[in-house]
Amino acid sequence: MLIYSVLSSHFRRLAINISNSMEFQILPFTLKLCMVISICIIGKKCGDWLLAVKIKSGKDEKNKREHNGSKRTVPTSVNYHFTRQCNYKCGFCFHTAKTSFVLPLEEAKRGLRMLRDAGMEKVNFSGGEPFLQDRGRYVGEMVRYCKRELHLPSVTIVSNGSMITERWFKQYGDDLDILAVSCDSFVPETNALIGRQQGQKNHLESLKRVRHWCAEYKVAFKLNTVVNIYNKEEDMSANIMELNPCRWKVFQCLLIDGENVGELALRNAEKYVISDEDFQTFLQCHREVPCLVPESNEAMRYSYLILDEYMRFLDGGTKQPSKSILDVGVENTINYAAFDERMFLKRGGKYQWSKADMLLDW
């Protein structure tokens, strides 16, 4: 209000001074009137604009204080992207291979314990491709640690499935609740266009093999699909029903500046993007699939707590990192993620995520 009143009075004084000047007196009356009115209007417009900015700034600051202070964010469900390396080259990937860094295993375990102590109930290990590091041993040891030492209700992994072996299931399968495999198409040519493959490896054969092992070793099987320009018209219903996942997460292709769009990005996903209408059409086509769980861009952006390879929380909109929880703790970093708990619950983020509670036909 102070800025508004000072600016308004300044323009009023300016109008009075001009009207009293000798040069102004000799001008025709109509022109004099127009000049004075114009100065007053400009002054009021500037004042109104500054006032609006001040009000918005005050609201933003109030919201920030309320978000950071009045309610403590509990990391109930955390996605730990411990590696950025991957053997696939999906064109829309939003967590690309910008570094090859992976924390020492004991440091990662220390961070996981800190998260558990702060309230974490579920951890999801992702990448990159989680099974690339030490041929799956690294992620396997974290899975075992989280289940046997930290006693987390839910331990899950998202993978492309191409690097998983039966030996891994024999060694670590008991401690894994859910394994999610990414599959964007059941047409090999479409997977090739997307980049969901490595060399001559058949992604769909890997998918079916992993599905069989999940049933054999009693790990709940989940499927993830990103709807994009190349698969938006594909009817996957029969294939999904045959695989029978406990959940089929269907994501709308999402752009993240610096990751899959923009000058600093390693990908350009703009050509993969679909409209909201296209996404809704895909969902409508698959409305009879009972395990379908849709996630639009709006639902995704701030409803995940994401840790990067340094155990830094990432802002849901910009992917800019906080300080590492290993350096300053969970409570001093978690609000940086701008986590929207209401959207997390609305999109079905909290569900029956422990295989001990699932009534699955193995």
pLDDT band at 30 (very low <50, low <70, confident <90, very high): low
Residue 282, pLDDT score: 98
Q: Is 157 helix (H, G, I), strand (E, B) or coil?
A: strand
- Which whole-number Å values give the CA distances from 181 to 105, 309, 333, in the listed order? 24, 21, 30
Catalytic residue among 40, 46, 90, 253: 90
Cβ–Cβ under 8 Å, residues 203 and 196: yes
What are the tokens at 251? 């994501």
Q: Which residues pair with 182 in a beta bridge?
A: 224
Q: Are strands 292-295 and 154-159 parallel, antiparallel or unpaired?
A: unpaired
CA–CA gap between residue 243 and residue 234 (Å, rounded): 17
Q: What is the DSSP string of 257-326?
A: BTTTBSTT-S--GGGG---HHHHHHHHHHTTT-TTEEEE-HHHHTTS--EE-TTSEEE-TTT--EEEEHH
Three-state SS across 7-66? HHHHHHHHHHHHHHCHHHHCCCHHHHHHHHHHHHHHHHHHHHHHHHHHHHHHHHHHHHHH
Residue 198, pLDDT score: 87
pLDDT band at 338 (very low <50, low <70, confident <90, very high): very high
Residue 199, pLDDT score: 81
Residue 53, pLDDT score: 39
Kindly state the DSSP code that residue 174 receives in the 8-state scheme. G
pLDDT band at 317 (very low <50, low <70, confident <90, very high): confident
Catalytic residue among 46, 86, 246, 253: 86
CA–CA gap between residue 117 and residue 241 (Å, rounded): 39
pLDDT band at 5 (very low <50, low <70, confident <90, very high): very low
**Per-residue pLDDT at 92 exceeds 60:** yes
Residue 316, pLDDT score: 83
pLDDT band at 218 (very low <50, low <70, confident <90, very high): very high
291 a catalytic residue: no
- Rounded to a whole number of angstroms, the CA Rg of the chain reads 27
Residue 28, pLDDT score: 65
Q: What is the dihedral of CA 81, 86, 88, 93, to 10 degrees?
A: 40
Catalytic residue among 34, 40, 46, 93: 93
Residue 68, pLDDT score: 44
86 a catalytic residue: yes
Lowest mean pLDDT among 42-51, 77-86, 160-169, 221-230: 42-51
Percentage of the chain beyond pLDDT 70 is 80
**What would the pLDDT profile of 31-84 be if each residue is shown by its tens digit?**
555 554 655 455 555 445 444 433 343 334 334 434 444 578 999 999 999 999
Sheet holding 178-182, edge to edge: 292-295, 247-252, 220-227, 178-182, 154-159, 122-126, 77-81, 306-307, 312-314, 321-324
**What would the pLDDT profile of 288-297 be if each residue is shown by its tens digit?**
999 999 999 9
**What would the pLDDT profile of 107-146 be if each residue is shown by its tens digit?**
999 999 999 999 999 999 999 999 999 999 999 999 999 9
**Per-residue pLDDT at 3 exceeds 90:** no
Residue 293 dihedral angles phi and psi, to the nearest 5°: -130, 100
Q: Is the dihedral of CA 141, 142, 147, 151 positive or negative?
A: positive
285 a catalytic residue: no
- Which whole-number Å values give the CA distances from 134 to 130, 171, 190, 271, 290, in the listed order? 9, 14, 30, 34, 37
pLDDT band at 250 (very low <50, low <70, confident <90, very high): very high
